[in-house]
Structure 1
Amino acid sequence: MTVTLMWEAKAVEGRGAELLAWARAQRPAEEPLRRETFRAPGGRVLVLTWWPGAYDTPVPELPEPPDALLARPVHRWRFEPLDEAGA
């Protein structure tokens, strides 16, 4: 079983590249099974990480970026993957 963490932040106007660089530089104490980083217009940055364990397993999360980079608080969610039979 795995749990997927979603971390999404929106940069202050004009600072999207800095927020993306900051997010890419963050390394948790443990390495996830998988990590993907995305960007979108408007300075949005999304990081998905996959970890072994159940939905409520404690796993490292990305920290809060410096306030000067953020247009709003970071959004965080947990997901559990479903196969087609479980969907």
Structure 2
Amino acid sequence: MTVALMWEARAATGRGEELLAWARAQELSSRPLRRETFRAPQDRVLVITWWDAEHSADLPELPEPAGELVARAVHRWRFDSVSED
């Protein structure tokens, strides 16, 4: 089974590039099948990692950035793959 972990944060005003650099520099304790980093308007940063694991598996995730770097708490979601196109 493939599980995708999504990590999304919104940077504090004017700190979007810093949050993006911070997210890209974070190392995980094990290597996912795939990892992608995205940015969006309003200084949002999204990181998706794919794992060969069960939905409930204990998987490494990006931590919370320092409070002054973000405008709100990080949002996290976990998805199971149902098809591959």
TM above 0.5, yes or no, is: yes
Q: Distance in 2 between matches of 1:8 and 1:47?
A: 6
The one-letter code sitting in structure 1 at the alignment partner of 2:44 is R
Runs of 4+ in 1 over 4 A off after TM superposition: none
Deviation for aligned residue 1:2: 1.2
Deviation for aligned residue 1:52: 1.1
Residues 45-73 of structure 1, C-alpha deviation per residue, up to 9 Å, x if partnerless? 00000011111111000011011111000
The one-letter code sitting in structure 1 at the alignment partner of 2:28 is P
Q: How does 1:54-73 map to 2 (within 5 A)?
A: 54-73=54-73
TM-score by length of 1: 0.93
- The secondary structure found in structure 2 opposite 1:3 is strand
CA RMSD of the aligned region, Å?
A: 0.9
Q: Which residue of 1 aligns with 2:20?
A: 20
Count of aligned positions: 84
Q: How does 1:1-80 map to 2 (within 5 A)?
A: 1-80=1-80
Greater Rg by CA: 1
- The secondary structure found in structure 1 opposite 2:12 is coil
Q: Distance in 2 between matches of 1:31 and 1:58?
A: 13
Q: Distance in 1 between matches of 2:72 and 2:54?
A: 29
Q: Distance in 2 between matches of 1:31 and 1:7?
A: 16
The one-letter code sitting in structure 2 at the alignment partner of 1:71 is A
Q: Distance in 2 between matches of 1:83 and 1:32?
A: 19
Q: Distance in 2 between matches of 1:83 and 1:37?
A: 22
Give identity over the alignment, percent. 64
Gaps of 5+ in 2: none
